[in-house]
C-alpha cells in the first residue's frame, strides 16, 4: 500500500526529528521558507523526502505557498502548515480552493512569545506594537478560514480557541521523545562526565533552550550567581545556536568561568548523553507551548526544575515529576535548584515518575502513530471546489 502524500509547510525552520517522523509514515514534501545564514531543517536527515526551499521573505514565501499547493493539488493528500502566520493563511486559502485537508500545527503561543520582547528586546528580535497586532489579526483570520488544528498541549488548545475558532483542535504532541535513545544512563554520572570532558566535581545544570526573550536565560544566570555566592559548587552546560550570546550574558553576571556553552549538538548522538551526565535540567521559560527539553531530561531520569507556565504545567508537576517556580523569580529558582541537589533520593523519585509519564504520553512512536491515524482517517472538511473537480 502506497504512503499518503503529505506536504509540510515550514515558515520558521523545523527539527530533524519532526520531518523524520513524518517521512517514516508519509511520502513527504517539505516546503520551507529559506533562512538566510541558517538552515530550514536543523540537522540533515537520512529519510527520503523532497525539500523545496522558498524565498526568505515571509510575503514571498506565502505567495509561493499559494501558487504551489493549488498547482500540486493532485499530489498531496494532506497539508500541514506550521503556525498561524502568513504561510498558514496562504495554505488555508489553497485548501479552500482545492478541498485538500489542511491543518495548522501549533507548537508555541506566538503572541505570548512576542509579548516577551517587551521586557527584553534583542537587536534581531525588537518589539513592534504593529507586528503584535498583525499576529493577532492573522490568528483570528486563520481561525475563521482554516479547517483544523494540531496542537502540542492542552494549553495550546486553549490559546487557539481564544482566537475565536470553532474548528477541530486535536492535541498531538509531535515530535515526541524517543525513549529508546533518551533513557537513563548505563554508567555512573561521574564516569560519563569524565568521558564527555565535562567537570567531574560539583553539580552540573543543563540549559538547552535557545536564547530568546521568552526562554529567560537571565533569571537562570542570576540564580546561579546567587548559589555560587552561597558557596555552591556549580557548573552550567548550554547547547544552542545562541551560545555566544549566552556566554556574553554569563560574563555580565560574573559566572562565565562556570559556564560550558557550545553550538547545538546532534539530537540523537550527543544530546541524550548531555542529559544523562547532568544533575538537573532547568527550563526557565516565561511562556511555553509544551517544552520538549524537560521531557527529554525526564526520559533520561534527570530531575527537572521548570516555570509553572503554559504547557509546562501539564508535565512538570510540583511534588510529582519535578520542581516548579513562578517565572522571573530568581530566589525561587535558586531554592528549587538547591532542593534538587540536597535531596537526591527525592530527585530520583520524581525523575523516575517523569520517565513513566513521558513513556505513557509522549513516546515518539505513539504520538506519530496517533497523528497518522488522524490523517489517514481524515476527509476534506469542505467539498472539493470546482477547480479541484476540473483538474481530475
pLDDT in tens, 4-36: 999 999 999 999 999 999 999 999 999 999 998
Domain co-membership, 211 together with 81:
no
Dihedral of CA atoms 255, 206, 330, 249 in degrees, nearest 10, equals 40
* pLDDT at residue 168 greater than cutoff 60: yes
**What is the tally of structural domains in the chain?**
2
Q: pLDDT band for 385, please (50, 70, 90 cuts).
A: very low
Domain co-membership, 72 together with 135:
yes
Whether 182 is covered by a domain: the verdict is no
Whether 384 is covered by a domain: the verdict is yes
Residue 355 belongs to domain with CATH number: 3.40.50.2000
Q: pLDDT band for 383, please (50, 70, 90 cuts).
A: very low
Domain co-membership, 348 together with 211:
yes
Q: Which residues of 224-243 are buried (b: 16+ CB within 10 A; e: fewer)?
A: bbbbbeeeeebbbbbbbebb
* Residue range 46-55: mean pLDDT, rounded: 94
Domain co-membership, 205 together with 158:
no
Enclosing domain of residue 148: 5-176+365-391
Crossing angle between the packed helical segments 16-25 and 364-377, to the nearest 10 degrees:
50
Q: Name residue 51's beta-bridge partners.
A: 30
Domain co-membership, 120 together with 28:
yes
From the list 30, 117, 116, the residue with the least C-alpha distance to 80 is 30
* pLDDT at residue 389 greater than cutoff 80: no
Rg (CA), the chain: 22
Q: Which residue has the cell 570532558?
A: 197
Domain co-membership, 194 together with 316:
yes
pLDDT in tens, 102-156: 999 999 999 999 999 988 877 778 899 999 999 999 999 999 999 999 999 999 9
Amino acid at each position: 500500500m502506497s504512503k499518503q502524500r503529505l506536504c509540510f509547510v515550514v515558515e520558521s525552520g523545523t527539527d530533524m526529528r519532526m520531518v523524520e517522523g513524518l517521512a517514516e509514515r508519509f511520502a513527504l514534501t517539505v516546503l520551507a521558507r529559506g533562512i538566510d545564514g541558517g538552515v530550514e531543517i536543523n540537522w540533515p536527515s537520512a529519510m527520503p523526502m523532497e525539500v523545496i526551499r522558498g524565498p526568505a521573505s515571509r510575503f514571498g514565501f506565502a505567495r509561493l505557498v499559494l501558487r504551489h499547493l493549488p498547482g500540486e493539488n493532485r499530489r498531496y493528500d494532506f497539508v500541514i502548515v506550521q503556525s498561524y502566520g502568513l504561510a498558514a493563511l496562504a495554505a488555508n486559502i489553497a485548501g479552500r480552493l482545492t478541498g485538500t485537508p489542511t491543518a495548522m500545527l501549533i507548537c508555541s503561543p506566538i503572541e505570548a512569545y512576542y509579548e516577551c520582547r517587551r521586557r527584553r528586546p534583542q537587536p534581531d528580535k525588537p518589539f513592534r506594537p504593529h507586528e503584535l497586532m498583525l499576529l493577532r489579526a492573522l490568528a483570528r483570520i486563520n481561525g475563521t478560514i482554516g479547517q483544523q488544528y494540531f496542537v502540542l498541549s492542552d494549553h495550546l488548545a486553549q490559546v487557539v480557541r481564544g482566537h475565536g475558532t470553532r474548528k477541530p483542535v486535536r492535541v498531538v504532541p509531535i515530535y515526541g521523545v524517543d525513549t529508546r535513545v533518551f533513557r537513563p544512563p548505563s554508567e555512573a554520572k561521574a564516569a560519563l562526565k569524565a568521558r564527555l570532558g565535562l567537570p567531574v566535581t560539583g553539580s552540573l545544570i543543563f540549559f538547552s533552550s535557545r536564547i530568546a526573550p521568552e526562554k529567560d536565560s537571565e533569571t537562570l544566570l542570576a540564580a546561579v550567581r546567587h548559589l555560587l555566592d552561597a558557596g555552591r559548587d556549580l557548573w552550567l552546560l548550554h547547547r544552542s545556536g545562541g551560545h555566544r550570546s549566552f556566554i556574553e550574558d554569563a560574563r555580565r553576571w560574573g559566572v562565565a568561568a562556570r559556564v560550558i556553552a557550545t553550538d547545538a549538538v546532534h539530537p540523537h548522538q550527543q544530546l541524550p548523553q548531555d542529559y544523562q551526565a547532568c544533575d538537573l535540567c532547568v527550563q526557565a521559560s516565561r511562556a511555553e507551548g509544551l517544552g520538549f527539553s524537560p521531557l527529554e531530561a525526564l526520559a533520561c531520569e534527570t530531575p527537572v526544575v521548570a516555570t509553572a507556565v503554559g504547557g509546562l504545567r501539564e508535565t512538570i508537576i510540583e511534588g510529582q515529576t519535578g520542581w516548579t517556580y513562578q517565572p522571573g523569580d530568581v530566589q525561587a529558582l535558586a531554592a528549587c535548584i538547591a532542593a534538587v541537589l540536597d535531596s537526591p533520593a527525592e530527585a530520583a523519585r520524581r525523575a523516575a515518575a517523569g520517565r513513566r509519564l513521558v513513556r505513557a504520553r509522549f513516546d515518539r512512536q505513539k504520538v506519530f502513530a496517533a497523528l497518522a491515524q488522524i490523517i489517514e482517517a481524515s476527509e476534506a472538511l469542505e467539498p472539493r471546489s470546482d477547480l479541484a473537480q476540473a483538474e481530475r
